[in-house]
Amino acid sequence: MFKVLVIAYYFPPMGLSGVQRTVKFIKYMKKYNWEPTVITTSQPGYFSHDNSLLKEVEDFNIRVIRTDAKNSDTALSNKKTRNIPPEFMRRFFSRVSKTFFIPDNKVAWANKAYSAAKELLEKEEFDIICVSIPPFSSFTLAAKLSKEFDISLFVDYRDLWTGNQFAFNLTPYHRVLHKRMEYKALKVADKVVTINRKIKERLLSTFQFLTFEDILILPHGFDEEDFSSAVPIPKANNKMRLTYTGLFYENITPKYFLQAFKKLTYERPDIAENIELHFIGHLRKENKRLIDKLNLQAYVKDYGYLEHKETIRRIVSSDVLWMMIGRGKSSDSISTGKLFEYFGSRKPVIACVPDGAAKIAAQEYGAAFVTEPDDIEQIKNAILKVHSMYRAGSLPQANEDFVQKHRIDVLTEQLTKSFQFYMKAV
For the chain, domain boundaries: 2-221+408-421, 224-404
Query: Computed over its alpha carbons, how large is the radius of gyration of the chain?
Result: 22
CATH 3.40.50.1360 applies to domain 224-404:
no
Nearest to 393 by CA among 355, 348, 353: 348
Does 2-221+408-421 match 224-404 in CATH topology? Answer: yes
Which stretches of 81-151 are assigned E, i.e. beta strand? 128-133
Distance from C-alpha of 173 to C-alpha of 356, rounded to nearest angstrom = 29
| CATH numeric code, 2-221+408-421 | 3.40.50.2000
Distance from C-alpha of 37 to C-alpha of 119, rounded to nearest angstrom = 13
Compute the Cα dihedral for 350, 384, 267, 275 and give only its sign.
Answer: negative
> At CA 327, angle to CA 322 and CA 329, rounded to 5?
130
Q: Decide: 340 and 406 in contact? Cβ < 8 Å.
A: yes
Residue 77: predicted pLDDT: 47
- Which DSSP category does 10 fall into? S
Mean pLDDT by 10 residues, the chain (426 residues): 95 80 95 96 70 89 82 49 71 82 91 96 97 95 97 96 84 89 97 97 96 97 95 92 91 95 97 96 89 96 92 96 92 92 97 96 97 97 98 96 97 97 78
Q: How far apart are the first and last CA of the chain?
A: 15
Sequence-ordered list of residues with C-beta below 8 angstroms from that of 232, at least 6 positions apart, any chain = 313, 316, 317
Nearest to 306 by CA among 363, 230, 254, 359: 230
Sequence-ordered list of residues with C-beta below 8 angstroms from that of 51, at least 6 positions apart, any chain = 12, 13, 307
Q: For the stretch 101-129, what's the b/e string if a residue is b when 16 or more beta carbons lie within 10 angstroms of its beta carbon?
A: ebbbbbeebbebbbebbeebbeeeebbbb
Distance from C-alpha of 423 to C-alpha of 204, rounded to nearest angstrom = 24
CB atoms within 10 A of CB 269: 9
Residue 82: predicted pLDDT: 65
Distance from C-alpha of 281 to C-alpha of 267, rounded to nearest angstrom = 29
Q: Decide: 339 and 220 in contact? Cβ < 8 Å.
A: yes
Distance of CA 395 to the CA centre of its chain: 27
**Ramachandran assignment for 255, one of left (phi > 0), alpha (psi -120 to 50 degrees), beta (any other):** alpha
3-class secondary structure, 350: strand
